[in-house]
Amino acid sequence: MHICEIFRSLQGEGKDIGCPTVFLRTRGCNLRCSWCDTSYAWEMEGEEVSPEYIYGKIGEYSTDRLCITGGEPLLQKDLYQLLDGIQGYRVSVETNGSLDISKLAERNLMISMDYKTPSSGMEDRMLNANLGKLRSCDQLKFVIAHGADYFFATKILGSNEVLAEVIFQPVWGVDISTLADKVLDDELDVRVLPQLHKYIWGDLKGF
């Protein structure tokens, strides 16, 4: 696998927000979101490491939560081999919504899938069939920068049946209270969450 970094931090997004977690960040991404905060992981370069090397590294940390993120983890050819050998962890895999999640959905893990909004510039790259593959244990995240993103997200939700928990997350730097008020006014059944790690540490690499 091409990996960028392995580190321990608090989960900053989604249902496990605030929980100590080991992060495995893979290298390589097929998208180029305008507000990407991990552009250092875009290129799939450098030496590859084996699943055994990764098991050893994550085992150095004392937490049972493991989040595989990117980049885009589904681009790694040996991702499923890695997943099938992981034992004793509550695993989540973050994916950008542009690649087929079927094989992830066969496994005992949480899929954390993005659906890219217009502010990303990548909304046309989304694979709509993925929405029907998400399970109740999974989560679906929309990053909201402005009213057009909000409208887009509500339209997607209104025209697709989604079992996963839905999260609306303001893009970093945008006031969360505006989004929260809008969700309450519209009586949406979604969770509004910030990026906790950025409140704590700012926009630093590795967190």
Q: Which residues bind ligand SF4 (CB under 6 A)?
A: 29, 31-33, 36, 38, 41, 70-72, 96
Check if the beta carbon of residue 134 is closer than 8 Å to that of residue 140.
yes
- Concatenate the DSSP letters of all residues of 125-147 into one string: G--GGGGGG--TTSEEEEEE-SH
CB of 32 to ligand SF4, least distance (A): 5
CB of 184 to ligand SF4, least distance (A): 27
- Indicate the residue among 188 and 196 with the shorter CB distance to ligand SF4: 196
Q: Select 6 or 31, whichever has its Cβ closest to ligand SF4.
A: 31
> Which residue number, 46 or 87, has a Cβ lying nearer to ligand SF4?
46
Nearer Cβ to ligand SF4, position 55 or 123? 123
Least Cα distance to 127 among 165, 99, 146 occurs for: 99
* Min separation Cβ 197 and ligand SF4, Å: 15
Q: Is 89 helix (H, G, I), strand (E, B) or coil?
A: coil
How many CA atoms within 13 Å lie on the side-chain side of 168?
A: 28
